[in-house]
Amino acid sequence: MRGLTAPGPVRWIVRTLEDAGFETWAVGGAVRDALAGIPSGDWDLATRATPREVRRIFRRTVPIGVDHGTMGVLARDGTLFEVTTFRKDVETTGRHAVVEFADELDDDLARRDFTINAVAWHPIRKVVHDPFEGAVDLERGVLRTVGSPEDRLAEDYLRVLRALRFAGAFQLRIEGRTWRALTAAVPRVGVLSPERIREELEKILAGAAPPSRALGLYAASGLLSALYGELDATVGEERSGAGGDWFSHALRAVDLLPASRPTLRWAALLQGVGEPEAPGDEEAHPWDRGLLRSAAVLERLRSSNARIAEISQLVPWVARPPDPRGTDAELRRWLARAGRERLPALLRLWSAAVRADELRDGPWNRGDFNTLAARLRALARSGLPLEVGELALSGRDLIRMGYSPGPLFGEVLRFLLDQVLEAPELNRPEYLRDEASRWLEARMPDE
């Protein structure tokens, strides 16, 4: 493998096990990544030693998944490496497998999903052991299963999602029979747990490769329609003023955002979900549909409530920015609704939309974006009140004026904020006190 060396601790673990008489190899993702020329930290080792033997040989071990044959071995520098006993599957259900220890490396490689993931490399002897020709496939740019694709995908439907992710990440063409088996298996992926489905999408969004490749395959394979109906409806949904549809625009924008900002990539991906009309909610405003549908996607994936709120509250604003030529009052109202704290994220998202539209004609242009960004930044920084808490009059002041706290307090403060958003010079205690008294007197029951 072109002069590749494994990190010192990996070689130390392999040498220690082999000195004790147990054949040991590097396998899986790290070998694949190294073959593709990508650095990987995740070195997984496969050995003939049983977990009990591994524990006996090393001083510092952590039982990670003893049932599955995995022991963690702590290297001197404190890094944990997974050492897994050779295994073979004895029973599979489409969701998980019952495994048994195996004597031979080849058994272990044969249970791996794709040929590119079934290459073993010996970190000391520096030889590749590749019975399924995964290295050749990687070189030729082909993804195929180890063994019969129909059987291997039915054993574990997560492999359908993994295939699309790897094809995207390494720019592989999915081999014909594997592709046919994959599209045939798509209707069964619903048996997977929502968490595993979400993790797959999150790996695509957090990956170094442009996510549009794997996500384009989600659409092409039918997986998008099986799992993400809200997004599937944006395929072919015309974006007004643009040559293309919402889905392809969203994919371009996702690619343009950094992998280190998954929240932004999520919001960019989901930006169009509010746009298509669906039976029953034609009446709803696209803004509300965007919020509700993006929240529905994330909820189905069992995302945390914090994450659902964070992403779904960005989504509707991404597709529907305020008019860059609107009045200051309009933009202040807009900021008050969207929340000042969301502005930096939204500017990143719109900026990606601008660049996406520069790649392919669309309604955004850089001049409009620059105007909007400058105006919103200035208003957000101006210190002018955008929230009830920033008014020159508070609930405490109302109590001091002799009113008793109740639901009317919130209402009157919002009434005052509304005026101040329109005309910030009204944010003076005397004026707000007078207005508040007038408003409250008119609504309070006589005593």
Binding site for ligand ATP (CB under 6 A): 28-29, 42, 44, 112-113, 117-118, 156, 158-159, 203
Q: Which is nearer to ligand ATP, 173 or 196 (CB)?
A: 196
Which residue's CB comes closest to ligand ATP? Answer: 29
Taking CB under 5 A as the criterion, the residue among 42, 195, 299, 361 binding Mg ion is: 42
Shortest Å distance, C-beta 194 to ligand ATP: 17
Q: Which is nearer to ligand ATP, 44 or 357 (CB)?
A: 44
Residue 275 contacts which entry, ligand ATP, Mg ion, none (Cβ below 5-8 A, type-dependent): none
Q: Which stretch in 27-35, 223-231, 295-303, 373-381 sits in contact with Mg ion by CB under 5 A?
A: 27-35
DSSP-derived pairing of the beta strands 128-129 and 120-121: antiparallel
**Rg of the chain taking only CA atoms, in angstroms:** 29
Residue 51 contacts which entry, Mg ion, ligand ATP, none (Cβ below 5-8 A, type-dependent): none
DSSP 368-418: HHHHHHHHHHHHHHS----SGGGSS--HHHHHHTTPPPSHHHHHHHHHHHH
Shortest Å distance, C-beta 44 to Mg ion: 7
Q: Phi/psi class of residue 91: alpha, beta or left (left: φ > 0; alpha: ψ in -120 to 50)? A: beta
Is residue 66 within 8 A of residue 51, CB to CB? The reply is yes
Q: Which stretch in 9-17, 28-36, 257-265, 389-397 sits in contact with Mg ion by CB under 5 A?
A: 28-36
Shortest Å distance, C-beta 10 to ligand ATP: 15
First to last CA, the chain: 89
| H or E segment to which residue 73 belongs | strand 70-74
Shortest Å distance, C-beta 40 to Mg ion: 8
User: If DSSP codes are grouped into helix, strand and coil, which group holds residue 83?
Assistant: strand
Residue 339 contacts which entry, ligand ATP, Mg ion, none (Cβ below 5-8 A, type-dependent): none
- Tell me how far apart the alpha carbons of residues 303 and 300 are, in angstroms, rounded to a whole number: 8
Shortest Å distance, C-beta 373 to ligand ATP: 36
Q: Which is nearer to ligand ATP, 31 or 379 (CB)?
A: 31
Shortest Å distance, C-beta 315 to ligand ATP: 27
- Compute the CA torsion angle 375, 376, 378, 379 (nearest 10 deg): 110
Shortest Å distance, C-beta 138 to ligand ATP: 12
- Tell me how far apart the alpha carbons of residues 310 and 208 are, in angstroms, rounded to a whole number: 23
What are phi and psi for residue 443, nearest 5 degrees?
Answer: -110, -15
Taking CB under 5 A as the criterion, the residue among 11, 20, 23, 29 binding Mg ion is: 29
Q: Which is nearer to Mg ion, 33 or 230 (CB)?
A: 33
Q: Which is nearer to Mg ion, 198 or 333 (CB)?
A: 198
Alpha helices in 48-148 (DSSP H): 51-57, 105-110, 134-140
Shortest Å distance, C-beta 112 to ligand ATP: 4
Q: Does 207 bind Mg ion (CB under 5 A)?
A: no
Q: Which is nearer to Mg ion, 42 or 151 (CB)?
A: 42
Q: Which is nearer to Mg ion, 29 or 94 (CB)?
A: 29
Q: Which is nearer to ligand ATP, 29 or 326 (CB)?
A: 29
Q: Which stretch in 11-19, 38-46, 79-87, 274-282 sits in contact with Mg ion by CB under 5 A?
A: 38-46
- Tell me how far apart the alpha carbons of residues 311 and 266 are, in angstroms, rounded to a whole number: 7
Q: Which is nearer to ligand ATP, 200 or 230 (CB)?
A: 200
Within 13 Å of residue 251, how many CA atoms lie on the same side as its CB?
A: 23
| H or E segment to which residue 224 belongs | helix 223-227
Shortest Å distance, C-beta 137 to ligand ATP: 13
Q: Which is nearer to ligand ATP, 194 or 244 (CB)?
A: 194
- Geometric angle at alpha carbon 214, from 258 and 301, rounded to 5°: 80
Q: Report how many residues bind Mg ion under the rule CB under 5 A.
A: 2
Shortest Å distance, C-beta 345 to ligand ATP: 27
Alpha helices in 36-157 (DSSP H): 51-57, 105-110, 134-140, 149-155
Q: How far is CA 50 from CA 14, 72, 102, 151, 322, in A?
A: 14, 13, 10, 28, 63
Is residue 239 within 8 A of residue 272, CB to CB? The reply is yes
Q: Which stretch in 37-45, 151-159, 226-234, 364-372 sits in contact with Mg ion by CB under 5 A?
A: 37-45
Binding site for Mg ion (CB under 5 A): 29, 42
